[in-house]
Amino acid sequence: AFSDSDETKAVMEFFSTGESVKGWLQAGGALSPHLDAQLDWYGDDVERGIAQLVQEATAFRFDGSDLMPGEVGAGSFWKGMTDWVSGSADLDTALQEIDASWPSNN
């Protein structure tokens, strides 16, 4: 926020609630980090089930891609691994493309 006005504080407070993401959840394709987001706000059973697992979790873990530079972890690593799992790329090719995408390798 660029201001500490009461209005800015009210908006920030709202964004800290599940209610702030209700429309996204109803539209589909999103999961809320808010424990007060109601499961019936989710648009389908699959997302509702995933959200329930997240809300009931007792631990939260990151995978290796979270520690990678963004263009790798959310880019080439994601693409390479999904290509490999789906069978559209062999493992050696996927790994070579991931290695080549690291910022220090360009």
Which residues are CB-neighbours of 69 under 8 A, at least 6 positions away?
Answer: 102, 103
Taking the domains of the chain in order of start, what are their residue ranges?
A: 6-56, 64-105
Does the pLDDT value for residue 44 go beyond 90?
Answer: yes
Averaged pLDDT for residues 22-43: 94
> Each residue of 47-86: pLDDT tens digit?
999 999 999 999 988 888 999 999 999 999 999 999 999 9
pLDDT confidence band for 102 (50 / 70 / 90) = very high
pLDDT of 1 reads: 64
pLDDT (0 to 100) of residue 106:
57
Task: Using CB atoms within 10 Å of the CB of residue 88, give its burial: 0 to 12 exposed, 13 to 18 middle, 19+ buried.
Answer: exposed
pLDDT of residue 72: 95
- pTM metric for this prediction: 0.57
Rounded to whole angstroms, what are the CA distances from 24 to 43, 97, 105?
9, 34, 38
